Amino acid sequence: MSEPILRGDWSYPTRVRFGAGRIAELPAACREVGIGRPLLVTDPLLAEHAMVHAALEGLRQAGLPVGVFSDLRPNPLGRDVAEGVRAFREGGHDGVIAFGGGSALDVGKAIAFMSVQERPLWDFEDIGDYWTRARTEGIAPIVAVPTTSGTGSEVGRAAAIIDEATHTKKIVFHPRMMPAQVIADPALVTGLPPRLTAATGMDALAHCLEAYCAVGYHPLADGIALEGLRLIHDWLPVAFRDGGNLQARAHMMAASAMGATAFQKGLGAIHALSHPVGSVYDAHHGLCNGVFAPYVLAFNRPAIEERMERVAAYLGLPGESYDSVLKWLLELRAALGIPHRALELGLKEERIDALAEMAAVDPTAAGNPVPLDAGALAGLYRAALEGTLPQT
């Protein structure tokens, strides 16, 4: 049976134009959502890349005057958003094109959202009903163009931004932060280096795995997460070995969006551990998730063993058991060059207790299937530092 054409138009949860070459539709997507003077938000390296230059030229030829904001960090800070808002207002822009990996997507979404707000960014942290504080009239429309396959931020309603005053990564949320349209073009990802393919792929894996295990009843998210895991199982090693394989890139781009769609159900200890390490040590978020994943899987075993049997069966893993899933995860990490120990993330023993306190109040901790507190999280940090899987 031949491989189907990997192209489609989806509305799930927002409109997605999926397929190789669809970046050519960027001007049409902007016009469709009412953007006439876009601000393209990307990172400093990508701003110099041919794909961005081609997109800018296409927009200008289509009669859309466009500005560029690229002064943002790999782990973006609140001041990155503030500077972007200033560029948005001073340039007279009426919408945002968020173009890049998770950092650019998150900052672009936050700029569009904050362009009409009078309260500070942190007043919209994903706590309770904080999002209802927002002024909704005039929030700028967003077109998202992902160039990695990991965060899935292009289909999300939140942005992860570091509060530099407290060195904590905070999740800013509002339903209107959802991009109005997405251009998901796997051809844009073919040049991603193996190291970043691995790290972003582990991010997508963590999203699917944690969403599937999170507490609560959400069979829609469970089904999406499970199929996302299958795509990652089948195609992440291929994308890592052969970055130009468009079929593998397409499947991983879909899996990334699936993980972000599924985690509306919740996340868990992998992300709770990763967020403080990323903010304190400026470590890559996907790499952190990849390092911590097996330690959390072992810690959660009493609550997820039956679910892991279903995962193993769906992925066709030998033995169809929890042990099969853990073995696959460890072997995949090794094949991708993901470190086994958190020492390589910069984690130090003397910071563990403080990091554990931060992890305990991270909003993702509440979704973990085994209840978490600072003591349990400190134990997981130490296990990852030592390279010893927790015994259950």
CATH of the domain at 220: 1.20.1090.10
User: Is residue 3 very low, low, confident or very high in pLDDT (cuts 50, 70, 90)?
Assistant: low
pLDDT at 2 over 70: no
Average pLDDT of the chain, as a whole number: 96
Rounded to whole angstroms, what are the CA distances from 382 to 130, 344, 386?
34, 13, 6
The per-residue pLDDT for range 301-324, each reduced to its tens digit, is: 999 999 999 999 999 999 999 999
One domain for residues 42 and 75? yes
Residues 88 and 148 in one domain: yes
Task: Give the integer Cα–Cα distance in Å for 289 and 274.
Answer: 6
CA distances from 315 to 116, 123, 173, 350 (A): 46, 42, 33, 40
CB atoms within 10 A of CB 308: 23
Domain CATH code at residue 164 = 3.40.50.1970
Taking 70 as the threshold, does the pLDDT of residue 135 lie above it? yes
Category of 337 on φ-ψ map: left (φ > 0), alpha (ψ -120 to 50) or beta: left
The pLDDT score that the predictor gives to residue 391 is 76
214 and 123 in a common domain: no
Based on the fold, state whether residues 321 and 248 are members of the same structural domain.
Answer: yes
Structure tokens at 90: 């001073």
- The residue from 164, 188, 212 where one domain ends is 188
121 vs 172, 327, 338, 342, CA distance in Å? 8, 42, 34, 31
Task: Measure the CA dihedral 90/96/101/106, to 10°.
Answer: 80
Residue at which a domain ends, from 151, 173, 188: 188
Q: In the prediction, which pLDDT does 5 show?
A: 81
The pLDDT assigned to 390 comes to 83
Residue 40 CA, distance from chain mean position:
19
In the listed set 139, 158, 188, which residue is the last one of a domain according to the structure?
188
CA distances from 22 to 8, 106, 354 (A): 10, 22, 46
Is there a single domain that holds both residue 254 and residue 109?
no
Q: pLDDT, tens digit, for every residue of 328-382?
A: 999 999 999 999 999 999 999 999 999 999 999 999 999 999 999 999 999 999 9
Segments forming the whole domain that contains residue 41? 8-188
**Is position 3 within any domain?**
no
| Average confidence (pLDDT) over 21-44 | 98
CA distance 379 to 73: 30
What does the pLDDT look like over 151-176, one tens digit per residue?
A: 999 999 999 999 999 989 999 999 99
Name residue 144's beta-bridge partners.
Answer: 98, 182
Q: Cis omega (within 30 of 0) on the bond before 13?
A: yes
244 in the same domain as 147 = no
Distance of CA 83 to the CA centre of its chain: 22
Q: Residues 215-228, buried b or exposed e (16+ Cβ, 10 A)?
A: eeebeebbebbbbb
Whether residue 130 is found in the same domain as residue 215: no
- Same-domain check for residues 180 and 199: no
User: Which pLDDT tens digit goes with each residue over 205-230?
Assistant: 999 999 999 999 999 999 999 999 99
**Whole-number Å distance between alpha carbons of 178 and 170:** 17
Q: Provide the token pair at 269.
A: 């200890």
Split into its structural domains, the chain has a count of: 2
198 with 147, same domain: the answer is no
179 & 118 share domain: yes
pLDDT at position 392, please? 60
Query: Is 131 among the domain residues?
Result: yes
What confidence tens digit (pLDDT) does each residue in 239-290 have? 999 999 999 999 999 999 999 999 999 999 999 999 999 999 999 999 999 9
pLDDT at 79: 97
Whether residues 197 and 184 fall in one domain: no
% the chain with pLDDT above 90: 97
Residues in the chain: 392
**Cβ atoms within 10 Å of 145's Cβ, excluding its own:** 29
SS (H, E, C) the chain: CCCCCCCEEEECCCEEEECCCHHHHHHHHHHHCCCCCEEEECCHHHHCCHHHHHHHHHHHHCCCCCEEECCCCCCCEHHHHHHHHHHHHHCCCCEEEEEECHHHHHHHHHHHHHCCCCCCHHHHECCCCHHHHCCCCCCCCEEEEECCCCCCHHHCCEEEEEECCCCEEEEEECHHHCCCEEEECHHHHCCCCHHHHHHHHHHHHHHHHHHHHCCCCCHHHHHHHHHHHHHHHHHHHHHHHCCCCHHHHHHHHHHHHHHHHHCCCCCCHHHHHHHHHHHHHCCCHHHHHHHHHHHHHHHCHHHHHHHHHHHHHHHCCCCCCHHHHHHHHHHHHHHHCCCCCHHHHCCCHHHHHHHHHHHHCCHHHHHCCCCCCHHHHHHHHHHHHHCCCCCC
338 and 197 inside one domain: yes
